[in-house]
Amino acid sequence: MKTQIEIQRIEKSKIDSVDFSNLPFGSVYSDHMLECNFKDGAWQKPVIKPFTSISLDPSAKIFHYGQSIFEGMKAYKDDAKNILLFRPTDNWKRFNKSAERLMIPKIPEEIFMEGLKALLRVDSEWIPRNPGSSLYVRPFMFATGTGFHASPADEYKFIIATAPSGAYFAGKVNVLIEEKYARAANGGVGFAKAGGNYAAQFYPTQLAIEKGYNQVIWTDDNTHQFIEEAGAMNIFVRINDTLITSPTSDRILDGITRKSILQIAEDEGIQTEVRKISVGEVVEAAKDGNLLEMFGAGTAAVISPISSFGYQENDFDLPVLENSFASKLKKKITDIQTNKASDPYGWRVIV
């Protein structure tokens, strides 16, 4: 059955106040949002309405017990003005994996996908066309049900909000390999996009910023000997001509960009390895001149080359390469996303 979506249009669009040639990341919002509430054990009718604040009871469980999850996606427009999404079903599936782990009711595929598509059609003028920009799409869901009892809420709100956005990182990415703090542990929620995972990253990241870095490379919580993720990105390391990334686990997000890059790299004849990467190996390779590239991969950041990393009071610079794997893979993936190249994988979805 097709989902019925009520549409309440904004009286006057804000779009004329936005400078599309100079977009920040994720801080200018489109006219509308999709909202759908869960109550009495069922999802209610989704509504597209003007982007506006929401009012919650102070005892809503989101404030006390952090039942909150989100996704990150991007929408693009091609030359023929088609609205494009990249592997959106994978985001929906991952959203529900996160929901299950946080005891939040799963969202039906029709509400997520039909709601998303309807919202993008309503706000299609907000999808930037300039290279490097896109409409960042943020589906999220949280506990609105009330009570100080530490147990799952009985009511939830699902929202999709969108933000025309430019690059996530403004300049060079210098990272610090973390030796003390961990973002995730076995049996925990690291694989989920739970809001609390990000809150827990802010303090160690701030300590790294104070030392002159802009991101943390997370290591395993047990030994801190293996590199796992780079801030809110999966991490890739190139040693000589092999591209290596950590296997996903309880602790590591199963990134859609990560798995797409692995597939493209293999098809481009780049040798890839999915295995644990020890800090010692990376430091040795850097000292020997065999560490040619490190980059983070994620929806928001796309592929962000790391220009240096710090470990135990030493800093290691990475070379600047003419034809890096990062630039080649970034071009390939963004060309598929924006319909500038054919998509042999069937990843692109026209709305």
- Beta carbon nearer to ligand PLP, 38 or 236: 236
Residue type, 217: I
Integer Cα distance of 67 and 140 in angstroms: 11
H or E segment and range at residue 211: none
Based on the number of CB atoms within 10 Å of its own CB, is 223 exposed (0-12), middle (13-18) or buried (19 or more)?
A: exposed
Is residue 137 helix, strand or coil?
strand
256 in contact with ligand PLP (CB under 6 A): yes
| Of the candidates 80, 83, 79, 73, the residue with the CA atom closest to the CA atom of residue 350 | 83
Binds ligand COI by CB under 6 A, chosen from 298, 329, 347, 348: 298
Nearest residue to ligand COI, by Cβ distance, number only? 72
Q: Which of 36, 107, 253, 306 binds ligand PLP (CB under 6 A)?
A: 253
Closer to ligand PLP at the Cβ: 32 or 183?
183
Please choose, out of 59-67, 156-164, 256-264, 281-289, the segment that lies near ligand PLP by the rule CB under 6 A.
256-264
Nearest-angstrom CA–CA distance, 305 and 346: 27
* Residue 64: C-alpha distances to residues 58, 103, 143, 148, 333 (Å): 9, 15, 10, 7, 40
Site map 60..79 versus ligand PLP, x via CB under 6 A = ------------x-------
CA angle 240, 245, 247 (to 5 degrees): 145
Per CB under 6 A, does 161 bind ligand PLP?
A: no
Q: Which does 258 bind (CB under 5 to 8 A by kind): ligand COI, ligand PLP, none?
A: ligand PLP
Residue from 153, 184, 300, 336 that binds ligand COI (CB under 6 A)? 300
CA-CA-CA-CA torsion for 186, 189, 195, 197, nearest 10 degrees? 0
Specify which residues 146 forms β-bridges with.
60
Select 51 or 70, whichever has its Cβ closest to ligand COI. Answer: 70
CA torsion 284-285-288-293 (nearest 10°) is -150
Write the interaction track for ligand PLP spanning residues 105-144; mark x where CB under 6 A is met and - where it is not.
----------------------------------------
Q: Is residue 232 part of the contact set for ligand COI (CB under 6 A)?
A: yes
Q: Does 299 interact with ligand PLP (rule: CB under 6 A)?
A: yes
**Distance, CA of 276 to CA of 244 (rounded, Å):** 9
Asked whether the beta carbons of 44 and 137 are under 8 A apart, the reply is no
- Which listed option, ligand PLP, ligand COI, none, makes contact with residue 195 (CB within 5 to 8 Å by class)? none
| 72 near ligand COI (CB under 6 A) | yes
Among positions 165, 234, 245, 324, the unique one binding ligand PLP when judged by CB under 6 A: 234
What DSSP letter does each residue of 175-210 carry, written as one string?
A: EEE-SS--S--TTSSTTS-BHHHHHHHHHHHHHHHH
The entry of ligand PLP, ligand COI, none near residue 63 (CB within 5 to 8 angstroms by kind) is: none
Instruction: Report if residue 324 touches ligand COI, rule: CB under 6 A.
Output: no
Q: By CB under 6 A, is residue 88 in contact with ligand COI?
A: no
Asked if residue 293 binds ligand PLP (CB under 6 A), the reply is no
Please report, as ranges, the residues that interact with ligand COI according to CB under 6 A: 72, 198, 232, 298-300
